[in-house]
Amino acid sequence: MKPKVLGQCPICGGAVEITEFKCSSCETTIRGRFKLCKFCQLSKEQAEFAEIFIKNRGNIKEIERELGISYPTVKGRLDSLIEALGYKNQTSYNPNKGKDVLERLDRGEISPEEAIELLKD
């Protein structure tokens, strides 16, 4: 098994640059300075979260269950992932937030403690 491309320097954590590609079929080698894609630059934890998020089609409840973490933790990891991909956090004011949180609590999707944390945000 071949190692994966490192998105960060294992010594200092700085950005890495790919300088050579080689075709495993025809042996063609291409040299230059190539930038990594956004996803290659994610930390291992961020990449794993992104994979789980996609696998669960963004279903927060399933992500909570699979990772054994709370809704606020899922939200925090998603916000971190969004920022790591270079996007600004688009969280905006939601006048129905309290109602939404109480409905989720009523359906048993979140615990009372998680509801309190969500209402603090």
> Residues 84-120: pLDDT tens digits?
898 886 655 566 678 888 888 888 878 888 888 888 7
Quote the pLDDT of residue 121.
63
Quote the pLDDT of residue 63.
95
Its domain, for residue 77, covers 42-120
Quote the pLDDT of residue 58.
93
Q: Provide the domain count of the chain.
A: 2
53 and 86 housed in the same domain: yes
28 and 61 housed in the same domain: no
Q: How far apart are CA 77 and CA 112, in angstroms?
A: 21
Quote the pLDDT of residue 98.
82
pLDDT band at 61 (very low <50, low <70, confident <90, very high): very high
Say how many C-beta atoms besides its own lie within 10 A of residue 27's C-beta. 7
Structure tokens at 17: 């640059």
Quote the pLDDT of residue 99.
81
Q: Could you tell me if 79 and 90 are in contact, meaning their C-beta atoms sit under 8 angstroms apart?
A: no
Quote the pLDDT of residue 17.
85
Q: Which of 46, 44, 21, 41 has the alpha carbon at shortest distance from 31? A: 21
> Residues 2-50: pLDDT tens digits?
666 677 788 888 878 889 989 999 999 999 998 888 888 888 899 999 9
57 and 101 housed in the same domain: yes
31 and 74 housed in the same domain: no
